[in-house]
Structure 1
Amino acid sequence: MSLSRHEQFFLVITTYNRADYLGGLLDSVAALNPAPDGVIVVDNASTDTTAAVIETARAQFPVPLIHHLLAENSGGAGGFSAGVERALAQGAQWIWLMDDDVTCVPGAIGAFAPWMDKYDALVGRRYDAAGEPFYWQNNFSTFLGFPLPVRGDVFATSDEFATNVGCFEGMLLHKDAVAAVGLPDPRFFLTWDDTTYGWLISLDRPVVYVNEFVLHKARAQRQIDLGIRHLNDSSDLGRFYVMRNRGLLGQYLRLHGRFNPVGFALGTALTAAKEVVRLLAVEKSLRGSGRLVAGWRESRQILAATDFKPMPALKKVTIR
């Protein structure tokens, strides 16, 4: 089936027990102009009213709305992996990924359009819950296995900025980019999954951050402005996985010949330090630091494994 470059644009939303936020997001999706060709909501075995919210929205939704229910909570990483796979099976050419606690800017799809003719992996800008620009722009250092913030205005001379990381809160992917590196790796559960995925894509083709605001953060979070980036609050689950998943990240670096033991150890120390700063400066407490230690211990076990295999590339995408 031959498609023009702008056809079969799907949204993949991953949700877990945030029915109220999901309802607001679906309202904003319904108002998108131009509209997508389909929307897939990956429900991570929610126990609240998520199913009812989706059914209510479907009754008057302007495009097909698919409720993809998982048997258990597989985290953001597992949800996006399942959602991308389902989108490809539905015939998606473009897949726009997002969490459940954002809303879409009405003209977002049209804003992406100029870059869809040039690139296969795009990340748009987003506003925080207060309506202020939220910035995260960084480049991934393979020596450290750590994303380093980019100073200054990355759009000072151009409306596009080449990066080598991803962000599943708003990343837009062409099916060719997915086919080249495979589905997002569900083993991450959450944290480091999008950074790793964007880096893997960047080894094969450009990843570009574009000067278009496409999302609003709907869920207010405690945050501080560090001058070179914003730092949000986290959770004990996030603290565990941000350290634990260093093991998975290290394995991917090793597979591509980019793993430096000394640099990676320094990057792990920087990761822990950033989380301690997050605890002290944002959450005003050191409670939860034990989860950092537990995650680090598990990361060492993952990194020591000799049988690690990456997600396989998709040699053929079946469209039905």
Structure 2
Amino acid sequence: MTSTTDRLAIAIVTFNRSTLLGELLESAATMHGSPYRVVVVDNASTDDTSEVVESFRERFADGVLVYHRLATNTGGSGGFSEGTRVALEEGADWVWLMDDDVEILPDAMERFEPWMRRFQVLHGRRYDVNGSPFFWQAKFNEFLGVPLPYTRKAFNPKGYAITNSGTFEGMLVHADIVRRIGLPDPRFFISWDDAVYAWLASRYTQVAYVDAYVLQKKREQKQINLGLRHLNDSSPLAKYHVMRNRAYVGRYFDAHGQLNRVGFALGTALTFAKEVFRLIAVERGLKGVGVLIKGWRDGRTIWRDRSWRPMPPLD
């Protein structure tokens, strides 16, 4: 009997974290059931990433491990776009997108399989660095244009919740949905790309968050737990793009007739306030406010770009 996981490709984006990448590849090599492809997108790393990948070549069957090195660092957004493209070119029916700072739990595909028979876009659960359960929870409020947290009670008695947002730290997407909505948009570089991608998918299919553990986080970050959500520290690059890319979110909402300009402006102000709170609560200072303001201002160029179009479908 053919399994729904038979043509599942894992698409990993990495940049200068070869040790973490090696741990992830080890988990991919030892998981129950072999993935159809393991596509490693190297965002022009300057460490020993290529050597680490090659050291795993014999751990996988012929043709399973695909190393795709980019000439420049295109950010997570560009990496996931390329990883998805390569996976589909390799003949994958499913693409499981993930950063290099997680490990795959041995029985992950077994846990996903029953849900894959029902949904075409899935998120499983993960354990945090310390082994505690991590509850990723976000659902777009379309008036504000921001994903807001919901509670654990969102899981219904059957063990899943329907959402319209997502994360590339574990999003599993069927190839038919990719063909319909296009590749992840590399123009985001980092931030908001995954939330928007799941939102686009939700316009055509149900996006499910399932109560099944499939990943383990490996990279430690400064973090505070607010109950309904966690806040991590972030780099200046992430701070800049979280504000600049609000314009991309708005353009996508507008293209699909969902943009409420008053509500979206309020959502952008709330996003700025959240990022300032992150600075104070997690990073213990206000260094970074200028970067947030610059990102907000630079988003105006995206709003004014008359040539801008959404990513095209692949069909």
TM-score scaled to structure 1, two decimals? 0.95
1:211 maps onto 2:211 in alignment: yes
> Which amino acid is 1:268 matched to?
T
What SS is found at the alignment partner of 1:272?
helix
Match of residue 287 from structure 1: 287
> Which amino acid is 2:49 matched to?
T
CA contact (8 A) 1:31 1:106 kept: yes
For residues 180-239 of structure 1, give each alpha carbon's deviation from its aligned partner in whole angstroms, at most 9, with x where no partner exists: 100000000000000000000000111000001111110011111111111111110000
Greater CA drift, 296-305 or 185-194: 296-305
Match of residue 9 from structure 1: 8
> Which amino acid is 2:230 matched to?
H
For residues 32-65 of structure 1, give each alpha carbon's deviation from its aligned partner in whole angstroms, at most 9, with x where no partner exists: 1022111000000000010010011113334611
CA contact (8 A) 1:124 1:213 kept: yes
Distance in 2, matches of 1:165 and 1:114, equals 21
Count of residues paired in the alignment: 313
CA contact (8 A) 1:30 1:62 kept: no
Structure 1 position 98, deviation (Å): 0.3
> Please, what is the CA RMSD of the aligned residues?
1.2
CA contact (8 A) 2:9 2:94 kept: yes
Greater CA drift, 206-215 or 152-161: 152-161
For residues 154-204 of structure 1, give each alpha carbon's deviation from its aligned partner in whole angstroms, at most 9, with x where no partner exists: 225331100001110000011011111000000000000000000000001
Distance in 2, matches of 1:44 and 1:6, equals 27
> Which amino acid is 1:303 matched to?
W
Distance in 1, matches of 2:19 and 2:90, equals 27
Match of residue 318 from structure 1: none
What SS is found at the alignment partner of 1:205?
coil
> Which amino acid is 1:129 matched to?
V
Mapping 1:247-266, distance limit 5 Å? 247-266=247-266
> Which amino acid is 2:189 matched to?
F
Q: Which runs of 4+ in 1 moved over 6 A?
A: none
What SS is found at the alignment partner of 1:46?
coil
Identical aligned residues as a percent: 52
For residues 107-142 of structure 1, give each alpha carbon's deviation from its aligned partner in whole angstroms, at most 9, with x where no partner exists: 001100001111110000011111111222121011
Structure 1 position 153, deviation (Å): 2.7
Distance in 2, matches of 1:134 and 1:6, equals 25
Match of residue 223 from structure 2: 223
Distance in 2, matches of 1:188 and 1:311, equals 12
Match of residue 49 from structure 1: 48
1:267 maps onto 2:279 in alignment: no
What SS is found at the alignment partner of 1:224?
strand
For residues 63-118 of structure 1, give each alpha carbon's deviation from its aligned partner in whole angstroms, at most 9, with x where no partner exists: 61111011100000000000100000000001101000100111001100001111
User: For structure 2, which runs of at least 5 residues remain unmatched after alignment?
Assistant: none
Distance in 1, matches of 2:164 and 2:188, equals 19
Distance in 2, matches of 1:219 and 1:173, equals 24
User: For structure 1, which runs of at least 5 residues remain unmatched after alignment?
Assistant: 316-320
1:138 maps onto 2:138 in alignment: yes
Distance in 2, matches of 1:255 and 1:117, equals 31
CA contact (8 A) 2:239 2:291 kept: yes
Distance in 2, matches of 1:227 and 1:39, equals 35
Distance in 1, matches of 2:210 and 2:151, equals 16
What SS is found at the alignment partner of 2:187?
helix
> Which amino acid is 1:11 matched to?
I
CA contact (8 A) 1:10 1:87 kept: yes
In 2 relative to 1, CA 107–268 (structure 1 residues): closer, same or farther, beyond 3 Å? same
Mapping 1:113-132, distance limit 5 Å? 113-132=113-132
Greater CA drift, 190-199 or 149-158: 149-158
Structure 1 position 151, deviation (Å): 2.7
What SS is found at the alignment partner of 2:59?
coil
Greater CA drift, 297-306 or 79-88: 297-306
1:200 maps onto 2:200 in alignment: yes
TM-score scaled to structure 2, two decimals? 0.97
Mapping 1:13-52, distance limit 5 Å? 13-52=12-51
